[in-house]
Structure 1
Amino acid sequence: MAAPTRQAMRFLSPRLQCLKTQPPTACPNQIRRASSRYSSPSNRTVSTAPAQAMSFVGAAPDTSDAQHNPLDIRANHMAAMEKRAYHMRRIRFASMGLLLSMGGLAMLLFNLDLDSIEQAEKKRKAGLQLDASSEANARFQGKAVHVIGAGQDKRIVAQGNGENIELVETGTSSVPHFPRNIYLPPSPDTSAPASTLDIVGVAEPNTPLNPGNAANQEEYTLVGLGIRTVMWIEVYVVGMYVRTTDITSLQEKLIHSVNPKASTLIPAEKEDLKKKLLDPDQSREIWSEVLKVPGIKTAWRLSPTRNTDFGHLRDGFVNGINARKAEARSKLPLLPGAGPQETEFDSESFGSAVQTLKSIFTGGKAPKESILVLARDQRGVLDVLYQPKADESGKWKKEMEVLGRVEDERIARLIWLGYLAGSKVSSPAARDGVVNGCIGFAARPVGSVETRVI
């Protein structure tokens, strides 16, 4: 038995060498086969496996017997590992698809406007027209909307009940128009005598000092507007207003930030101002100067594009405040051995002011097309005003009411900076609209009150 065994080992030795996974070398038997009659290309038939289409999970492993010798343990192990890796990739991608599908469904259900669907169903059952977007765009607060002129000189006016309201297009059909001018109750003037501080306002109505209405309200002019979106979902339209009598002061601050001696800006200086207002650091400097107290009165007007609540709005404001706090802390130098320095926003009084702001937005709904106004007076005091959605005839269900007030001027300042300055603003579209409006202000001589900005 020994002699046949040694003879068998000698016979298998060349073949075992060929089964190794090292770079293939021609075996003596293979060389002899190459010289056979099948070595001619015209007579040899080559059978190859069909090419597999590549996908994002890779090509499926080929487990045909022609690829691996059943006696090669290492090759079989590598083939099994390749097959396992392929199926693991398929499992991962399938899991990712499942999670994304569930997340998209949850987002869809969260943002589903059930009230609009219910109203549409009622109209369908009543036989009314379902598509009312064109009708909604043709009316503003119950007044018919008319377009006068075309191009850059186009004007949009809502007319009705003996009143004309000039409008600006917002870019969304949910809230198609914003008024160019709004009227807000004036806050007490701290420079006035103490006996007058209890009055709603110290200026007479409908006078050059207060070009408002008979209710002794002050006129504010739109600077710019934009849409705030979360991911791809529109949340609300927001516009910045400045008190009309403070436009001159705003012009001076904007122009002097580029050229301290100029009364208006030339085209090259306007481009320089635009770059500064879009730069994270320089914009913070310019707007911090504009928002100094005592100073000018400004306001933000928000109108939700879908039904929401005060809790969501509150979270957005608080997140903006926290982002600006983090930026202010990052600008302070680190002291050796002392760690980061404290900012003016790390005090206990500021924390109490934030809690006051949160308490204003406790509970309550903010339906589509309702109005929320954040007004900042010359002292930096923040007033939060709210007006419910108007009915189909354009009449407001309630007059605008004051929800609350925050005395600490740092709260309003950080909310304003959250929209206007920094590396990441709450609404890039609103920031761009305000920047374009500021360029329009700076292009006119100081002292010329121009309400048609956009």
Structure 2
Amino acid sequence: MSLRTPTLRLLRSPLSNPTQCLRPRPLAFTPLTRRHLSSNKPPSNPLLDPITLHRLEVQRRAYYKRRSYYAAAGVVFGMIAIYLTATSIDLNAYPPNPKPTKLDSPRRSDDPMVVLGRERKVVVQKLGEEPEEIPDVVHTGTSTIPTFPRVLEFFDDKKLGHPEGLGERGEDMLDEYQLIGLGVRTVSFLGIEVYVVGMYIATDDIAKLQQALIKQIATGASSLVKGEKEELKAKLYDAEEGTRIWGEILREGGVRTLVRIVPVKNTDFGHLRDAFVGSLKKRARDFREEYGDEGFGRGVEELKGLLNRGSVPKGKELLLARNREGKLAVWYDDGKIGAQRLGQVDDERISRGLWLNYLAGKTPVSEPARKSIIEGVMEFVERPVGTVATQVQVQTHV
């Protein structure tokens, strides 16, 4: 027997590569990747862990706590500042005003539309009747200058040059004027509006006007009845009779009146001057015996000199004041330096001629104004003489 171990024959086929290792090769691991539609990168905000959430909550609470501290500190310092400011003011240096200003007033006394007088609200109570509140303004009929004050306070201060420069007597020097009537001045057949004009009369002189008008119809009477009122109205509308009646009242009545003119569009003193002077010259030609002398001509020149100025913007007030002697004073406010007294004309025929342009004649300057004035005086003559001015009036500045 052979001593060698017999060789085992392998049943499998021999290796193709003699250097190939018989150790099994481990399988390579390929990790799976997620595919995203928007990006191939993995999400950048992983879920927060509880510790991070806790830290964020603590930071949020600390932020709001600091805000509350700052707000409380602001309130405390604000109150301290108010207290220090209030206690550091010397009240003795600011004595109280004996006539406090009404702060809720809808219109100031220095309003450009009421600069030469102070508008008032009037409550009228007749004897035996309930109090009647009269509106403080009257509608003019134009949107540019919608209203006129019903009552004004005015004083022709020659010395200080301003109606509210009242000196030591204060408001006691102011005279109250009531609106008689108003209207719009128009030119050309197109009816172009130029200015709104209103005529005022001193309240204390209403009785004189009543007497002067009533005696034209019924001498010695204290008032007129309906038929007599219609007769007086017809005379006032008549060109010749109206000129005669108003001429006598202006010349002899001793009635203080105002003519208030407010342009509805920009104009200038040249246009107003030419209109005034032209009407006076025409009156001098028509009534030579009364207006044709040299004195009247000098008065016309004085008026031209007063009105030899620049522009008059819309809404600014020109006031013509006629005193008991018939002297004419001209006031104007340009809205910049306050009301100014431009001067005066002593010849009473100048103011009388200007007033008659609005009150009488075939072609008055403003027919609506004449109609309104006549309707206004009709309310005067239907009441007993003196009762209009002595009505109980509760007046409040507005």
TM-score w.r.t. length of structure 1 = 0.53
Residue 152 of structure 2 aligns with an amino acid whose one-letter code is I
Cα separation, 2, equivalents of 1:344 and 1:282: 17
Larger radius of gyration: 2
Cα separation, 1, equivalents of 2:220 and 2:175: 31
3-state SS in 1 of match to 2:251: coil
Give 1:227's match in structure 2, choosing from 154, 171, 184.
184
1:172 partnered with 2:142: yes
Matching residue of 1:338: none
Matching residue of 1:181: 151
Matching residue of 2:362: 423
Matching residue of 2:215: 256
Identity of aligned pairs, percent? Answer: 42
Matching residue of 2:313: 367
Matching residue of 1:379: 325
Give 1:282's match in structure 2, choosing from 241, 254, 268.
241
Cα separation, 2, equivalents of 1:216 and 1:427: 32
Cα separation, 2, equivalents of 1:432 and 1:285: 17
Q: Is the 8 A contact 2:283 2:291 kept in 1?
A: no
After superposition, give the CA deviation of every residue in 1:382-428 in whole Å (9 maximum; x if it has no partner).
00001124xxxxxxx43321111101111111111111111121111
Residue 141 of structure 2 aligns with an amino acid whose one-letter code is G
Cα separation, 1, equivalents of 2:325 and 2:161: 15
Q: Is the 8 A contact 2:208 2:253 kept in 1?
A: no
Question: How far did 1:266 drift?
Answer: 0.5
How many residues are aligned here? 263
Contiguous gaps of at least 5 residues in structure 2:
1-105, 114-118, 123-131, 394-398
Query: Which structure is higher in RCO with an 8 Å CA cutoff and minimum separation 6?
Result: 2
Residue 398 of structure 1 aligns with an amino acid whose one-letter code is I
3-state SS in 2 of match to 1:292: helix
Q: Is the 8 A contact 1:294 1:379 kept in 2?
A: no
Cα separation, 2, equivalents of 1:290 and 1:382: 16
Change (3 A) 1:142 1:311: closer
Contiguous gaps of at least 5 residues in structure 1:
1-137, 157-165, 189-197, 330-342, 390-396
Change (3 A) 1:215 1:315: farther
Cα separation, 2, equivalents of 1:142 and 1:313: 20
3-state SS in 2 of match to 1:171: coil
Residue 226 of structure 1 aligns with an amino acid whose one-letter code is G
Give 2:270's match in structure 1, choosing from 297, 300, 311.
311
Q: Is the 8 A contact 2:209 2:253 kept in 1?
A: no
Residue 436 of structure 1 aligns with an amino acid whose one-letter code is E
Q: Is the 8 A contact 1:294 1:380 kept in 2?
A: no
Cα separation, 1, equivalents of 2:360 and 2:180: 16
Residue 328 of structure 2 aligns with an amino acid whose one-letter code is L
Matching residue of 2:298: 352
Change (3 A) 1:442 1:403: same
Q: Is the 8 A contact 2:269 2:308 kept in 1?
A: yes
Cα separation, 2, equivalents of 1:216 and 1:404: 20
3-state SS in 2 of match to 1:245: helix
Q: Is the 8 A contact 1:324 1:417 kept in 2?
A: no
Question: What pairs with 1:80-95 in structure 2 (closer than 5 Å)?
Answer: none
Q: Is the 8 A contact 2:330 2:344 kept in 1?
A: yes
Cα separation, 2, equivalents of 1:402 and 1:222: 22
After superposition, give the CA deviation of every residue in 1:42-97 in whole Å (9 maximum; x if it has no partner).
xxxxxxxxxxxxxxxxxxxxxxxxxxxxxxxxxxxxxxxxxxxxxxxxxxxxxxxx
Change (3 A) 1:142 1:296: closer
Question: How far did 1:432 drift?
Answer: 0.7
Residue 355 of structure 1 aligns with an amino acid whose one-letter code is E
Cα separation, 1, equivalents of 2:383 and 2:161: 33
Tell which deviates more after alignment, 352-361 or 288-297. 288-297
1:321 partnered with 2:280: yes
Give 2:175's match in structure 1, choosing from 218, 242, 245.
218
Q: Is the 8 A contact 1:324 1:418 kept in 2?
A: no
Cα separation, 2, equivalents of 1:223 and 1:294: 16
3-state SS in 2 of match to 1:236: strand
Question: How far did 1:258 drift?
Answer: 1.1
Cα separation, 2, equivalents of 1:414 and 1:325: 9
Residue 412 of structure 1 aligns with an amino acid whose one-letter code is S
Cα separation, 1, equivalents of 2:371 and 2:331: 25
Q: Is the 8 A contact 2:266 2:312 kept in 1?
A: yes
Question: How far did 1:443 drift?
Answer: 1.1
